[in-house]
Amino acid sequence: MDLKIGWLYPTLMSTYGDRGNVICLQRRCQWRGIGVEIVPLDREADVSQVATVDVIVGGGAQDRQQEIVMRDLQGAKAAAMREQLAGGTPGAFTCGSPQLLGHYYEPALGQRIDGLGLLDLTTRHPGIAAPRCIGNVAFEIVAEPLATELRQLWNEPPIAIGFENHGGRTYLGKVAPLGKVLAGYGNNGEDGWEGAFYSNAIATYAHGPLLPKNPFIADWLIQTALQRKYQQPITLTKLDDSLAQQARKAMLQRLNLASLPGNA
């Protein structure tokens, strides 16, 4: 078995170590004997590459780089991305990437940049004088059926941890929120929601990077991608995640969340 991992704009969108998400997926596949090809979905990529990847990963970006990406991802390439995600290709999108998948991003300076309009959400930066949303973040994933499937993989409540650093505030329309904020700001610091979940696409503000800190999400992406590709139920071999577990425990203690079920 093998998977093609599409990586959105690797050189323009990989703030705060987001490339770690791609490395995490790659290693967790290789440790199980699953072949991996990493396909950069950047300015040089053509539509057929966007249309044939099995899982898509996108990281964050500074406003300037984000604008370049949002201007490039138009036309046939945008249509292929829409088709992939609407059709159930799993993906993990952090920070700048969800802003790109939404209707638009209004930066602190300059003009509104249109997104793909795939996720019913909008993002506005309230201006350079406004404080950024920075710090460790923890949230309980509540989007269904994702939350139930993660529980089956992990045998624990799907609490995700990460690190956020964004100026933009995201407001959800009809798209489902990914999780409920337990610590940190989440989408906008006001409504208590973190991220969004659409089809099989996970959108979040959590860098960290997200997947090494939350290996159950990485395994969900791998399992979902393999099941779609091979049209059969897949059970992944267990890996030794004791180091990730210790790191998670330390962070939950630091955030005064150590008493949550499954983390005591």
- State which H helix or E strand residue 169 sits in: strand 169-172
Say which residues have a Cβ less than 8 Å from residue 253's Cβ, sequence separation at least 6. Answer: none
Closer CB to ligand GLN, 97 or 224, in the complex = 97
**Rounded to 5°, angle at Cα 142 from 136 and 148:** 120
Q: How far apart are CA 66 and CA 46, in angstroms?
A: 19
Closer CB to ligand GLN, 165 or 227, in the complex = 165
Place of tokens 């999780």: 179
CA distances (Å), origin 126, targets 15, 166, 187, 196, 203: 21, 11, 13, 21, 21
Closer CB to ligand GLN, 28 or 125, in the complex = 125
- Could you say which of 95, 113, 116, 121 contacts ligand GLN (CB under 6 A)? 95
Closer CB to ligand GLN, 9 or 197, in the complex = 9
Map the footprint of ligand GLN across residues 49-78, applying CB under 6 A: 60-63, 66
Bridge partner residues of 203 (DSSP): 93, 196
- Could you say which of 115, 162, 168, 195 contacts ligand GLN (CB under 6 A)? 168
Q: How far is the CB of 3 from ligand GLN (least distance, A)?
A: 25
Place of tokens 């990914």: 178
When asked if residue 136 is in the footprint of ligand GLN (CB under 6 A), the reply is no
Q: How far is the CB of 239 from ligand GLN (least distance, A)?
A: 28
**Residue nearest ligand GLN, Cβ-based:** 60
Residues that bind ligand GLN (CB under 6 A): 15, 60-63, 66, 95-96, 125, 165-168
